[in-house]
Chain A
Amino acid sequence: MTLLTLDWILLIEKLVLIVVIILASLGIALYTTFAERKVAAILQDRPGPSRAGPYGLLQPLADGVKMFTKEDIIPNAASKWLFILGPGLAMTASLMTCAVIPWGGTIELFHRKIDLQIADVNIGILYIFAVVSMGIYGIMIGGWASNNKFSLMASLRAASQAISYELAMGLSLIAVLMVTNTLSLGEIVKQQQTGWWNIVYQPLGFLIFFICALAECNRTPFDLPEAENELNFGYHQEYSSMKLGFYLFAEYINMIMSSAVMASVYFGGYDIPFVDDAHVYASIGNWAALIQVGVLLAKVVGFIFLFMWIRWTIPRFRYDQLMNLGWKSMIPLALFNMLVTGALILLRMNHWHF
């Protein structure tokens, strides 16, 4: 068997990394649900959850126990396997995104250089796009399999919304890719460590990307798939127990992952601001990588707070407003941004002569 020619140590190293990253993102997602409630409370002059444990810190565990112990209902008229497949798909798709995000620099352990990135594929950003578009299936299948008209309508809304905003998102990313000349997220972050962050080159692109990320995560100004007053509960109306928990959880993980992508593409990823990272590496070695992870997490937390802040400020759009914004404002703006970026890059290649 030539299976043994595999680099077993590399395999083990990657497996450990995958487990650590997935567990970490699940943990962060757990506490993001807590943070959501706390942020909402603080913005509304309330104390928020504060009973379970000190400062209510055990609240997510209590929520989890509640979710697990509730009765798991599968409606009679539902298509059973698809009904189960839906939340699983949503969860898988949102967790798969973390594979290409560079969570930090390299750590040296046992004389091996370990990249804190599961897979530095040369199409990193496109991979994220593919996985995000898979996430829609979770919602669509779940909504259809419930055999409920509200769920079906919500899942159709979700799908059309996701497809519409994916276009503008892709167009705004093309402009960044024109600046960076690479699709690999690791490479994009490394470029930003030595030069300026991409937000300097692409402010408009970032704005478009951010708005589209809100829409892709079904966050509030765009949370029409779960608009309670129109669709009762949206696509997860028939779901209960941990299947519902999976859907809710997938939404929060999506939020974390899109924050991480935004931080990596536009805000230098794990780059420590105002400091030359190479110097830090030379002086404290492995600790530098940990600091970088911390810096990236801080940026992610900042974005998550922004997401929540927006959620508790802006009311939901109407559906036609959503489509108008997507097709009539975002896509033309993204195209304009792309054209201007292309023109400037051409000009710079020509040494600023027409």
Chain B
Amino acid sequence: MNTTQILFWFLSGLALVSALMVLLSKNPIHSILWLILVFFSISGHYILLNAQFLAIVNLIVYAGAIMVLFLFVVMLMNLSKEKEDQKNVWMKLSGIIAGGCFLVSTCNVIFNAQVVSKELAGKTALLKEGSIGLIGPLGKALFNDYVVPFEISSVLFLSAMVGAVVIGKKD
């Protein structure tokens, strides 16, 4: 094993353990803190893949802003253990179905990748190869090849903002 492989296995283990802890911890605040750890280990993976920009943006946006808002909401909601057990069976079922769909599709992607490109098979990480995660190539890709999806997603955000303003307005 070389250093990158050690790092890869360490980060993967960390990500899996903390992802499990997100689900298993009783206290929602602890769940969020474990989730932050998940984001950190995922950022570590990005760095191993030479995608420093993605790693840092992941930290800024998810760990830095969105998780703070999560903490905010959870701290203000004052969740208690008594209220937690009243979950609907249908909610659980739909959760299982949605999670299962996601699992199937990610497995599909992973196996396809091994079939399509032979050089990926049996490797842990592509260290210092590929530059799509750096800021220059990423910007070029986003604004040349994927302009339309990019702009459409910004419209989505705009609609979310408008929705927030409408909800927040007093009348």
Contact = CB atoms under 8 A, between A and B. Distances in A.
The reply to whether A and B meet directly (CB within 8 Å) is yes
Contacts of A156: 72, 75-76
A122 B138 CA distance: 14
Interface residues of B, number: 24
A183 B75 CA distance: 35
Nearest to A158: B68
A162 B60 CA distance: 13
Nearest to A131: B59
Interface in A208-236: none
A134 B64 contact: yes
A179 to B, nearest CB: 16
B2 interface: yes
Chain A interface SS verdict (over half): helix
A105 B71 CA distance: 42
Interface string A85-102: 000000000000000000
Contacts of B21: none
Interface residues of A, number: 29
A122 B135 contact: yes
B63 A3 contact: no
B75 A130 contact: no
Chain B interface SS verdict (over half): helix
A130 B64 contact: yes
A54 B75 CA distance: 49
A110 to B, nearest CB: 25
Contacts of A123: 52-53, 56, 135
Contacts of B72: 156, 159-160
B65 to A, nearest CB: 6
A133 B76 contact: no
A144 to B, nearest CB: 6
A126 interface: yes
A127 B64 CA distance: 12
A141 B36 CA distance: 12
Given A144-B75, A159-B72, A130 B56 contact: yes
A16 B135 CA distance: 30
Interface string A127-147: 101100110110011001000
Interface of B: 1-3, 27, 29, 33, 36, 52-53, 56-57, 59-60, 63-65, 68-69, 71-72, 75-76, 134-135
26 contacts: A2-B1, A2-B3, A3-B3, A82-B33, A122-B134, A122-B135, A126-B57, A126-B60, A127-B56, A129-B64, A130-B56, A133-B59, A133-B60, A133-B64, A134-B59, A134-B63, A140-B75, A144-B75, A156-B72, A156-B76, A159-B68, A159-B72, A162-B68, A163-B68, A163-B69, A166-B65
Interface of A: 2-3, 5-6, 79, 82, 121-123, 126-127, 129-130, 133-134, 136-137, 140-141, 144, 152, 155-156, 159-160, 162-163, 166, 183
Given A130-B60, A144-B75, 9 more contacts: A2-B1, A79-B27, A127-B56, A130-B63, A133-B59, A133-B64, A133-B65, A162-B68, A163-B69
